[in-house]
Structure 1
Amino acid sequence: MVRCVRLFFVLLTLALVVGCSKGESPENEVFAVSDLAHKKVGVIKGTTAEAYAMELGKGSMDMKLESYPSLKDMVEPLLQGELDAILSDDVPAKVLVDSDPSLRILDEALKEESYAGVIAKEKWGLLDSVNVALIQMRATGVYDSIVRSYVGGDAKYRVPLGPANGPVLKVATYAKFPPFVYYNEKKELVGSDVEIVRYVADYLERPLEIIDMDFGKIIDAVRDGQADLGFAAFSVTEERKQLIDFTDNYATSRIVVVVRSGKTKSFFQGIKDSLFGK
């Protein structure tokens, strides 16, 4: 009985904490891409979502952009009304929305794009070898296994690494972009792009070193020789082609708009998030 009373007061206290720390979200005012005009919009700095938003902003859209280091950092500002919407690649946006009913994705996309790895110009031998590895990865069904695991799966698929005798293959990435690249609960670097580069390294028979850095620094790191490749769901753009070369495309995606759904989390989910984080 005493234990039950204590549990009741603990839950009551937590409920007050959750209720006080997170007030009601303002109503959503963005229902289409055209509604983004003159709105406060969050983006991850250095991404194509930011670039497309800036390009649209030169016209009648005139969005008020705010840059953040990751998607997770934008959730609370959106729910509190400091942002009206978030722009993101669709796969990480879906992962975010699936875990939080207070968010939803608009049906209309801002842009469709393709993903590829980046490599310094005139590295044709390495580029050809990486492209052959990507083709083989698809032909053998490994790519499908990776996608099934990291997009709506158990996120446990690991590409095995065989003997490696060549020079270290250094790959730069950005580890705040699930399900492409992120740290799991064991602080292990995982994700679909991680498994892709593991496959590439194994195909090349080279030991693998993955370097986590800010997204905006990856292309410079590849150009300067600090890394051989960059894999972090890079969108293929003409602007980037002036600086680096792209591998063959390995995925396609859309830039989507995340807004407030008007729904709330359950009482116990709110307590869980307050105690353990999202």
Structure 2
Amino acid sequence: MSRFWKIATLLLFLSLVGCSKTEIPENRVFSIDDLANKKVGVLVGTTGEIYAADYGTDSTRLHAEKFETLSQAVDALLEGSIDAVLTDDAPAKVFARKNPSLRILNEVFKEESYAGVVAKENMGLLDSVNIALIQMRAMGVYDSIFDAYIGGQSKYHVKTDSVTGPVLRVATNAEFPPFEFRCKKRGIVGIDIEIARYVANYLGRNLEIIDMDFDDIIDSVKAGKADLGLAAFSVTEERGQIVNFTDHYATSKIVIMVRSGEEESTFQRIKDTLLGG
């Protein structure tokens, strides 16, 4: 093919792309300061939503776009309808690994701790869960769980004991890998599910995992519809007025996920093929 026809073919491709597809905007967020006046995805009921509402002044506030799941927020980011996503670092890493066109900024937005939630009047269960968490650490189970789900160094899982005790109802939201998510072969899995299984074994109780909207978990625990909430809950003073927190079992960072622009576009690949770039 002559160079003339290569160029003609490229121009034809450009005209077709221009007519058929809206170009996704380039990333405009490179630091926390760049969030001012940008559309930022947050999850309903999370601390990310709270931090977004408190960000900036009247002239530098960000525009929070609320989503029920992190997957929905990531899709909006990939499509270009929002500029960034504010979320926890562990799940952000999971989605960034699956999508090469995303990256996480090095600058940390906020640091926080995770804990389970128990009804205020259920002090006996709170004490038992805390003892189980201590035992998990002492026996190396805690490290094995985190190595499996975050380090990828093993396929460790807590085995369910055969028990006849009453059901331990644990509320979660299976939309937040690696802490809780759905697996085709094993159903709802994740770090919090392994912890729930260990706690149930320690108590000699059968385990029931109840999947619900994240924003409904605390109300469910408070109303007695669930005994324990495990869903990567960030410890906050506001939540602590409604329910009791277990001992912390993980630390986390709120980070900013953006489009990286590192993935080669279809246009660039065709251009390089036609023009030998």
TM-score normalised according to structure 2 size: 0.85
> What is the SS of the residue equivalent to 1:27?
coil
Q: Alpha-carbon deviation of 1:95?
A: 0.6
Q: Which residue of structure 2 lines up, in the alignment, with residue 108 of structure 1?
A: 107
Structure-to-structure mapping, 1:1-278, within 5 angstroms: 24-57=23-56, 61-153=60-152, 156-186=155-185, 188-264=187-263
Question: 1:139/1:85 Cα in 2 relative to 1: closer, same or farther (>3 Å)?
Answer: same
Q: Alpha-carbon deviation of 1:81?
A: 2.1
Highest Rg: 1 or 2? 2
> What is the SS of the residue equivalent to 1:38?
coil
Question: 1:183/1:266 Cα in 2 relative to 1: closer, same or farther (>3 Å)?
Answer: farther
> What is the SS of the residue equivalent to 1:178?
coil
Measured in 2, the distance between the counterparts of 1:254 and 1:171 equals 25
TM-score normalised according to structure 1 size: 0.85
Q: Which amino acid aligns with 1:171?
A: V
Identity of aligned residues (%): 61
Measured in 1, the distance between the counterparts of 2:160 and 2:147 equals 20
Q: Alpha-carbon deviation of 1:138?
A: 0.9
> What is the SS of the residue equivalent to 1:25?
coil
> In 2, are the aligned partners of 1:25 and 1:262 still within 8 Å (CA)?
no
Q: Which amino acid aligns with 1:32?
A: S
Measured in 1, the distance between the counterparts of 2:232 and 2:20 equals 34
Question: 1:187/1:145 Cα in 2 relative to 1: closer, same or farther (>3 Å)?
Answer: closer
Measured in 2, the distance between the counterparts of 1:250 and 1:137 equals 10
Measured in 2, the distance between the counterparts of 1:21 and 1:194 equals 45
Question: 1:197/1:58 Cα in 2 relative to 1: closer, same or farther (>3 Å)?
Answer: farther
Question: 1:140/1:112 Cα in 2 relative to 1: closer, same or farther (>3 Å)?
Answer: same
Measured in 1, the distance between the counterparts of 2:250 and 2:182 equals 21
Q: CA deviation digits over 1:122-147, x for unaligned, max 9?
A: 21111111000001101111111111
Q: Alpha-carbon deviation of 1:69?
A: 1.6
Q: CA deviation digits over 1:75-124, x for unaligned, max 9?
A: 23212321010001000001110111100000111100000000000211
Q: How many residues align?
A: 251
Q: CA deviation digits over 1:217-237, x for unaligned, max 9?
A: 000000000000000000000
Q: Alpha-carbon deviation of 1:166?
A: 2.0
Measured in 1, the distance between the counterparts of 2:259 and 2:51 equals 22
> In 2, are the aligned partners of 1:155 and 1:191 still within 8 Å (CA)?
no
Question: 1:60/1:111 Cα in 2 relative to 1: closer, same or farther (>3 Å)?
Answer: farther
Runs of at least 5 residues in structure 2 that lack an aligned partner in the other structure: 1-15, 267-277
Q: Which amino acid aligns with 1:39?
A: K
Q: Alpha-carbon deviation of 1:151?
A: 1.2
Question: 1:190/1:227 Cα in 2 relative to 1: closer, same or farther (>3 Å)?
Answer: same
Measured in 2, the distance between the counterparts of 1:223 and 1:24 equals 47
> In 2, are the aligned partners of 1:38 and 1:64 still within 8 Å (CA)?
yes
Question: 1:110/1:61 Cα in 2 relative to 1: closer, same or farther (>3 Å)?
Answer: farther
> In 2, are the aligned partners of 1:115 and 1:233 still within 8 Å (CA)?
yes
Q: Alpha-carbon deviation of 1:61?
A: 3.6
Measured in 1, the distance between the counterparts of 2:20 and 2:167 equals 48
> In 2, are the aligned partners of 1:101 and 1:265 still within 8 Å (CA)?
no
Q: Alpha-carbon deviation of 1:22?
A: 7.2
Runs of at least 5 residues in structure 1 that lack an aligned partner in the other structure: 1-15, 268-278
> Which stretches of structure 1, 4 residues or longer, exceed 6 Å deviation after superposition?
none
Measured in 2, the distance between the counterparts of 1:78 and 1:55 equals 22
> What is the SS of the residue equivalent to 1:177?
coil
